[in-house]
């Protein structure tokens, strides 16, 4: 009987430690575009973590010094299992909600792409390439750029094209200066569309400056020092996707040709270090980023 009580206490303590680690990792994973902006909930998240630790300490003290009987051991063991089940259900629910949010964003961006014959799948292509590039960037440089947030920013980078008249989007000829001015405003239109979503605040500048150049001669003339690193990552992916895609006015270019062009503009249009990292990504991984709807 004593052995059984000891085993239950030991297993319960191990499960509680696992629960705390899982919860801690969960808290870290919620610092993204879908979860931030609800700072009042942060307090309760910390309180819940403190209670889990408090419960574990109490558990160990009772186990070591409380001389627990079988009923007490069962209650403690059951408690740790209960927390594990609640955590599992909660994490599963949040994962489902996040997946659904991404699906909704993909649907919305599908509407944007459908209005422009040159965009077919472009946004998803840029998203895939952005995330691949992100995974190759050294961890120290990725600091401050949440993976999920970057995924949404790259997917939604051209959402402002919803505000561009179709006659401009679909114009087969060269755009006039006035039309080009309207077209160049799509990053800010995108920011206006997404502004009501409070938690997207962090990624709005990433979207707004995705057409800026290091020389300060981008769409809004923003100098290099003020261009967010996330925007530079998206710009590299956007450039590669645009070069390798078929457009009504140009055939798709080969992977090698795209790298050559990107190297030529690195340091002026694109970040030099990012282009270097990008050029070392295996071709097979980049080819895998092409969505079915994209013609390359
Ligand atoms: Fe754009």
pLDDT tens column, 115-159: 887 777 899 999 999 999 999 999 999 888 999 999 999 999 999
pLDDT at 171: 84
> How remote is the CA of residue 107 from the centroid of ligand 1, in Å?
18
pLDDT digits (tens, 9 = 90+) for 241-267: 999 998 877 888 999 999 999 999 999
pLDDT for residue 1: 66
Range of the domain at 185: 116-287
Q: Same domain for 123 and 254?
A: yes
| Cβ atoms of 189 and 163 closer than 8 Å | yes
Output the pLDDT for position 16: 92
Indicate if 132 and 235 belong to the same structural domain.
yes
- Is 13 a member of any domain? yes
Same domain, 62 and 174: no
Residues 172 and 242 occupy one common structural domain: yes
* CA separation, residue 146 to residues 27, 36, 188, 229 (Å): 13, 11, 22, 12
Nearest CA among 55, 165, 128 for reference residue 287 = 128
CB 49 within 8 A of CB 27: yes
Q: Which residue has the higher pLDDT, 268 or 65?
A: 268
> Within 13 A of 135's CA, how many CA atoms are on the CB side?
11
- 201 in a domain, yes or no? yes
168: CA distance to ligand 1 center in Å?
Answer: 14
Are 120 and 72 within one domain? no
Number of domains composing the chain: 2
How long, in residues, is the chain?
Answer: 296
Residues 59-88 pLDDT 10s? 888 888 888 888 888 888 899 999 999 999
21 part of a folded domain: yes
Residues 74 and 158 in one domain: no
Same domain, yes or no, for 14 and 124? no
Q: Are residues 139 and 83 in the same domain?
A: no
Coil, helix or strand for 250? Answer: strand
Of the candidates 8, 34, 198, the one whose C-alpha atom is nearest the C-alpha of residue 100 is 34
Same domain for 120 and 93 = no
pLDDT at 38 over 60: no
Residues flanking ion ligand 1, Cβ below 5 Å: 158
Query: CA 290 to CA 296: how far, in whole Å?
Result: 8
Contact predicate 115/92, CB 8 Å: no
Position 92 scores a pLDDT of 93
- Report if residue 177 sits inside a domain: yes
The answer to whether residue 81 is domain-embedded is yes
Evaluate whether residue 266 is within a structural domain: yes
Residues 51 and 197 in one domain: no
Mean pLDDT score, 200-212:
95
Cα dihedral 116, 119, 124, 128, rounded to 10, equals -160
pLDDT of residue 159: 94
CA of 63 to the centre of ligand 1 (A): 61
pLDDT band of 22, cuts 50, 70, 90: very high
In-domain check, residue 221 = yes
Confidence of residue 37 (pLDDT cuts 50, 70, 90): low
pLDDT, one tens digit per residue, over 90-102 is 999 988 998 898 8
Place of tokens 């700072």: 39
Q: What CATH number is attached to the domain comprising 168?
A: 1.10.3210.10
Residue 285 clears pLDDT 70, i.e. is over it: yes
Name the band, by pLDDT with cuts 50, 70 and 90, for residue 209: very high
From the list 31, 98, 120, 161, the catalytic residue is: 161
10-14, 61-65, 283-287: least confident range: 61-65
Mean pLDDT of the chain: 90
Q: What is this structure's pTM? A: 0.81
Look at residues 262, 163, 158, 166 and name the one whose alpha carbon lies nearest to residue 208.
Answer: 158
217: annotated active-site residue = no
Whether residues 141 and 243 share a domain: the answer is yes
In this structure, is residue 107 part of a structural domain?
no
Contact of 243 with 251, CB cutoff 8 Å = no
The verdict on 151 and 9 lying in the same domain is no
Q: Which of 70, 97, 124 is the last residue of a domain?
A: 97
Give the whole-angstrom CA distance, residue 224 versus residue 214. Answer: 4
Q: What separation in Å is there between the alpha carbon of 11 and the centre of ligand 1?
A: 54
b/e per residue 202-216 (b: at least 16 CB within 10 A)? bbbbbbbbbbbbbee
Give the confidence band of 31 by pLDDT, cuts at 50, 70, 90: confident
């Amino acid at each position: 009987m004593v052995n059984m009580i000891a085993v239950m206490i030991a297993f319960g303590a191990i499960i509680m430690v696992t629960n705390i680690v899982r919860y801690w990792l969960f808290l870290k994973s919620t610092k993204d575009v879908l979860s931030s902006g609800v700072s009042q909930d942060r307090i309760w998240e910390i309180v819940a973590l403190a209670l889990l630790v408090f419960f574990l300490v109490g558990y160990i003290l009772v186990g070591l010094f409380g001389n627990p009987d079988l009923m007490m051991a069962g209650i403690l063991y059951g408690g740790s299992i209960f927390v594990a089940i609640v955590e599992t259900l909660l994490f599963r629910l949040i994962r489902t909600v996040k997946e659904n949010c991404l699906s909704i964003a993909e649907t919305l961006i599908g509407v944007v792409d459908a209005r422009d014959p040159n965009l077919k799948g472009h946004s998803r292509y840029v998203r895939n390439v952005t995330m691949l590039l992100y995974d190759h960037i050294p961890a120290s440089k990725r600091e401050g750029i949440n993976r999920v947030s970057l995924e949404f920013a790259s997917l939604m980078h051209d959402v402002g094209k919803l505000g561009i008249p179709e006659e401009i989007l679909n114009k087969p000829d060269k755009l006039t200066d006035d039309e080009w001015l309207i077209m160049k405003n799509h990053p800010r239109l995108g920011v206006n569309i997404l502004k009501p979503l409070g938690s997207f605040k962090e990624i709005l500048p990433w979207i707004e400056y995705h057409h800026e150049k290091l020389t300060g001669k981008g769409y809004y003339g923003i100098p290099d020092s003020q261009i967010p690193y996330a925007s530079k990552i998206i710009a590299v992916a956007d450039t590669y996707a645009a070069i390798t895609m078929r457009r009504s006015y140009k055939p798709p270019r080969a992977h090698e040709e795209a790298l050559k062009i990107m190297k030529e503009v690195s340091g002026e249009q694109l970040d030099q270090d990012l282009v270097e990292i990008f050029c070392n990504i295996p071709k097979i991984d980049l080819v895998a980023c092409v969505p079915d709807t994209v013609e390359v």
